[in-house]
């Protein structure tokens, strides 16, 4: 099982025993209002966990969808992911979601920072990008806090529940990130 440890968190591969915790936030319409998935049914949550389990079977993993868990009690706080978008161009993308019960406590920033470093160190990324809806100021704040730079507005970037929506594009470039954890 892959794990990353931060000051307060353990980021680890999902297990099927996480279903109740994941479904609690993934079925919440407020959590899903800015994304192109959800609110989940129990079957969709189980399918997500099955997909996450398949991801771990890769000989050379190029994507990591990880449970954000509390170091203190192991409770699942949310999910954070980083995946290779283009090997040839050394690009990756990241995303995160946090249960509303745990929002506003810096967990998304802590987890996002850890997987950003993972993208540079393990995936060899040159550029890591992320998007969020313009009205999702909390996510935009997290992306800025972890060192990503807002690059612009992508008009009609996604179709969510039948409506074309804009996205803000954020990115971090290897040469601009200073960390002793990767070269």
Pick 29 or 61 by higher pLDDT: 29
Count CB neighbours of 106 within 10 A: 15
In the numeric block, the tokens 């810096």 are attached to 106
- Predicted confidence at residue 181, as pLDDT, reads 42
- Computed over every residue of the chain, the mean pLDDT equals 94
Percent of the chain with pLDDT over 90: 90
How do residues 110-152 score in pLDDT, each as one tens digit?
999 999 999 999 999 999 999 999 999 999 999 999 999 999 9
Phi/psi at 76 (5° precision) = -80, 120
CA 83 – CA 109 distance, rounded (Å): 18
CA 118 – CA 47 distance, rounded (Å): 25
- The answer, yes or no, to whether the previous bond of 39 is cis (omega within 30 of 0) is yes
**pTM of the full structure:** 0.93
- The pLDDT-based confidence of 57 (bands split at 50, 70, 90) is confident
How do residues 60-100 score in pLDDT, each as one tens digit?
889 999 999 999 999 999 999 999 999 999 999 999 999 99
Are the C-beta atoms of 158 and 132 separated by less than 8 Å? no
- Predicted confidence at residue 180, as pLDDT, reads 44
């Amino acid at each position: 099982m892959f794990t990353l440890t931060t000051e307060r968190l353990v980021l680890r591969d999902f297990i099927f025993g996480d279903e109740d915790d994941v479904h609690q936030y993934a079925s919440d319409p407020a959590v899903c209002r800015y994304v192109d998935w959800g609110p989940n049914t129990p079957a969709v949550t189980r399918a997500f966990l099955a997909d996450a389990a398949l991801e771990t079977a890769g000989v050379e993993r190029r994507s990591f969808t990880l449970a954000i868990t509390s170091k203190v009690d192991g409770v699942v706080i949310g999910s954070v992911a980083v995946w290779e978008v283009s090997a040839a161009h050394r690009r990756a993308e990241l995303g995160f979601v946090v249960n509303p019960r745990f929002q506003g406590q810096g967990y998304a920033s802590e987890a996002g920072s850890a997987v950003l470093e993972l993208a540079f160190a393990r995936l060899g990324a040159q550029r890591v990008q992320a998007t969020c809806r313009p009205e999702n100021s909390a996510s935009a704040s997290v992306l800025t806090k972890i060192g990503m730079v807002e690059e612009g507005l992508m008009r009609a970037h996604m179709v969510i529940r039948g409506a074309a929506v804009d996205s803000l594009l954020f990115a971090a470039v290897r040469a601009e990130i200073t960390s002793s954890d990767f070269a």
